[in-house]
Chain A
């Protein structure tokens, strides 16, 4: 069974800092990896999707990388803002069946 781990569980940074969130998975046979954001009491918003053949994806201040062989992905947030405060989740899709597994999330607080 695929296990997805996110470290750290919580992170607090001052506004303007660049930061990195980590996601690791035990089975490298993934189809793709997706990063989501979840605000308190809300649903999940997709941020970036990386197919297994890709190394990274960028959207605005966000950059996600994928290293399948080491079972790792990182989400880089540049020039953090208070509005970035949320829980960030990564999810990997299995090579077959397209079922996807979530990590436990990183709760990010950006202090003004």
Chain B
């Protein structure tokens, strides 16, 4: 089965440190999303890309978060500096959108704890 691969699975870091999360979308998918999940807010969209171009990053705190797709096989989400309120599970999802949207596949997530 094709999978969306996220690394690391878990990350504990101290406040103020830089955190980088990585996502390998399914080969051939042209759309990549980053979501954040917390108990209080549920799933929140942070950013998404189509054909590696950012389409919407309005959900991200711009002063500390950045999302990029250096190539079609890698998406990154970076937090600098990290804060305790960033503690959450970060999910990447990918899908093929080409005339029709065929739905999205999620990775297993990166559980981030900022202490």
Contact at A46–B105, with CB atoms within 8 Å?
Answer: yes
Q: Check B103 for interface membership: any CB of A closer than 8 A.
A: yes
Contact at B42–A105, with CB atoms within 8 Å?
Answer: yes
Give every chain A residue within 8 A of B97 (Cβ-Cβ): 98
Contact at B101–A42, with CB atoms within 8 Å?
Answer: no
A-B contact count (CB 8 A): 47
* Chain B 88-115 near chain A by CB (<8 Å), digits 1 or 0: 0001010001001111111111000000
Contact at A32–B106, with CB atoms within 8 Å?
Answer: no
Q: How large is the interface on B (under 10, 10 to 19, 20 to 34, 35 or more residues)?
A: 20 to 34
Contact at A34–B106, with CB atoms within 8 Å?
Answer: no
Q: How large is the interface on A (under 10, 10 to 19, 20 to 34, 35 or more residues)?
A: 20 to 34
Give every chain A residue within 8 A of B56 (Cβ-Cβ): 97, 99
A31-B101, A99-B56 are known contacts. Are A104 and B106 too (CB-CB below 8 A)? Answer: no
Binding site for B on A (CB under 8 A): 31-32, 34, 36, 42-46, 49, 51, 89, 93, 97-105
